């Protein structure tokens, strides 16, 4: 059963995706443990009053992955046409032709036409839906972000590779039992020249989502150990954001300069704004007053009623659970304080 997103209050709270993996799940992983842990993650969010929680992405975590917690590999490895065999020569080639700064080796090598393979998002979404206890959001990494992690030995063209990934992802979208599908992108803020390609690829995925399911797109400037990975600003991306076929945006703003707020005035009014008001790059626990002030600062720029969602800047996987949970509480209390609830 796909529950509906609540219509009130006028500003809703949500999370972005990942949650810190519980120690007991990491120590003794199993399918039942993932189900139990996902139930816990949902319950933690619902107890503090999050309107649209995420499943925590616990099943995507790879303890052996040093860069992005295994999120990229979760999408890449099951696809047909990609080899995960990455030796010295592949690593050297990737560093010469497709440097990503913090990523030293590719997630895989594209050796033939991409296909479904063993990729099955429906199963993981169904697992979450079975224990969600209400409306929830399911997340998908954008085709542009995925293509930048690959070494291409087949398509010979970055645009063709990106669109091929988009088609594979789009085929996974129908009938997902969720109230909202969110496409995640953390690379385009630092590469605005690729905006037309990224938008076209993301729209292929967004257009495949079932009618009646909320379509969200999350953007951040990257996060690894509290570091911002991508340079850039929101002003350069306004046209890109307006080109997306989404219902609302999920934007990193708490860890951004105040000047970034000016760009929000130029986002098409048909797209609802989701603003980051919780900084996940620091351990500081925001007070309700700080959260309320951040919401107020945005609405002073864009006008009352434009902000539909408030959330953390990004996922919580790099923080301690005690920190994440207290930030969640502050998010709801701050939203309530701002609305006078």
pLDDT of 122-151, one tens digit each?
A: 999 999 999 999 999 999 999 999 999 999
Strands (E), the chain: 12-13, 80-83, 108-115, 137-141, 150-152, 180-185, 214-219, 248-251, 273-278, 307-312
Whether 309 contacts 7, CB under 8 Å: no
Query: 223 near 197, Cβ under 8 Å?
Result: no
* pLDDT of 246 strictly over 80: yes
Mean pLDDT over 109-121 rounds to 97
pLDDT tens across 179-205, in order? 999 999 988 877 888 999 999 999 999
Q: Is residue 231's pLDDT more than 80? A: no
Quickly state the pLDDT bin for 261 (edges 50, 70, 90). Answer: confident
> What gap in Å lies between CA 50 and CA 133, rounded to an integer?
12
Residue 2 binned pLDDT confidence (cut-offs 50, 70, 90) = low
pLDDT tens digit string along 152-167?
Answer: 999 999 999 999 999 9
Instruction: Locate 28 and state its tokens.
Output: 């003794």
Q: What is the mean pLDDT of residues 117-126?
A: 98
Task: Find where tokens 């006078």 sit.
Answer: 340
- Among 207, 209, 277, which residue's Cα sits nearest to residue 14? 277
Q: What is the pTM of this model?
A: 0.93
> Mean pLDDT throughout 73-83?
95
> Would you state the pLDDT for residue 229?
46
Quick check: 317 pLDDT over 60? Answer: yes
Look over the chain and give the mean of its residue pLDDT values, rounded to a whole number.
91
Whether the per-residue pLDDT at 254 is higher than 60: the answer is yes
What does the alpha-carbon distance between residue 341 and residue 144 come to, in Å, rounded to a whole number?
40
pLDDT of residue 105: 85
| pLDDT exceeds 90 at position 310 | yes
- Check pLDDT > 70 for residue 221: no
Residue 69 pLDDT class (50, 70, 90 cuts): low
How many Å apart are CA 181 and CA 317, to the nearest integer? 19
Quick check: 232 pLDDT over 70?
no
Residues contacting 75, CB < 8 A, separation 6+: 119, 140, 141, 146, 169
1 versus 212: the higher-pLDDT residue is 212
CA distance 48 to 37: 17
Confidence of residue 338 (pLDDT cuts 50, 70, 90): very high
**Confidence check: pLDDT of 226 > 60:** no
Going from the C-alpha of 280 to that of each of 224, 227, 235, 311, 320, the distances in angstroms are 10, 10, 22, 10, 11
- CATH for the stretch 12-339: 3.20.20.210
């Amino acid at each position: 059963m796909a529950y509906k997103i609540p219509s009130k209050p006028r500003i809703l709270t949500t999370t972005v995706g990942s949650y810190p993996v519980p120690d007991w799940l990491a120590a003794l992983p199993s399918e039942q443990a993932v189900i139990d842990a996902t139930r816990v993650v949902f319950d933690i969010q619902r107890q503090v009053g999050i309107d649209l929680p995420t499943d925590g992405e616990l099943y995507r975590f790879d303890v052996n992955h040093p860069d992005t917690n295994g999120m990229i590999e979760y999408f890449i490895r099951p696809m047909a046409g990609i080899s995960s065999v990455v030796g010295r020569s592949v690593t050297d080639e990737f560093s010469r032709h497709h440097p990503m700064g913090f990523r030293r080796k590719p997630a895989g090598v594209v050796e033939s036409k991409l296909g479904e393979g063993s990729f099955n998002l429906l199963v993981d979404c169904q697992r979450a839906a079975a224990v969600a206890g209400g409306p929830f959001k399911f997340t998908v990494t954008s085709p542009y972000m995925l293509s930048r992690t690959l070494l291409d030995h087949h398509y010979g063209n970055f645009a063709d590779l990106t669109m091929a990934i988009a088609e594979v992802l789009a085929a996974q979208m129908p009938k997902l039992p969720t109230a909202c599908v969110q496409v995640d992108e953390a690379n385009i803020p630092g590469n605005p020249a690729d905006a037309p390609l990224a938008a076209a690829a993301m729209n292929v995925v967004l257009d495949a989502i079932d009618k009646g399911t909320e379509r969200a797109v999350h953007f951040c400037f990257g996060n690894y150990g509290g570091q911002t990975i991508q340079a850039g600003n929101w002003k350069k991306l306004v046209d890109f954001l307006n080109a997306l076929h989404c219902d609302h945006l999920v934007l990193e703003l708490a860890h951004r300069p105040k000047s970034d707020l000016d760009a929000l005035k130029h986002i098409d009014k048909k797209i609802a704004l989701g603003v980051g008001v919780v900084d996940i790059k620091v351990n500081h626990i925001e007070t309700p007053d700080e959260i309320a002030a951040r919401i107020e600062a945005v609405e002073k720029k864009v006008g009352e009623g434009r902000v539909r969602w408030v959330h953390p800047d990004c996922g919580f996987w790099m923080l301690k659970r005690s920190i994440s949970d207290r930030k969640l509480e502050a998010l709801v209390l701050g939203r309530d304080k701002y609305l006078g609830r």
